Amino acid sequence: MDSAEDTSRAIATGRLPNVVVLEATAKLLDGPRIRNLVQRVPAVLIASRTAKVSLPDTAVTFFRAVLIAEIVAPVREFLARDTT
């Protein structure tokens, strides 16, 4: 699932992604659907150091500036757990 639309269609049919990586914006995380998804599916959030956003405790959170390798590490861990 590469886009919000892909994810929405999959969830509507009862499928959940194995992990989600999201930019942690107030607009995105204030929505009940996304907040519920982040609580149900392993999530990696990329957040601003300056913007005030309520971050869920259930997610791994990185603050900008972050390296892609830092994001990939927990994604791989989540995916490895999912296959065992």
Q: What pLDDT, in 10s, does the model give residues 73-84?
A: 999 999 998 665
Q: What pLDDT, in 10s, does the model give residues 19-73?
A: 999 888 888 888 888 888 888 889 999 999 888 888 888 789 999 999 999 999 9
- Whether 10 has a pLDDT exceeding 90, the answer reads no
DSSP codes joined into one string, 21-80: EEEE-HHHHTSHHHHHHHHHS-EEEEE-SSS-----TTSEEEESS--HHHHHHHHHHHHH
- pLDDT at res. 84: 57
- pLDDT at res. 21: 92
Structural domains in the chain, CATH included, are 4-82 (3.40.50.2300)
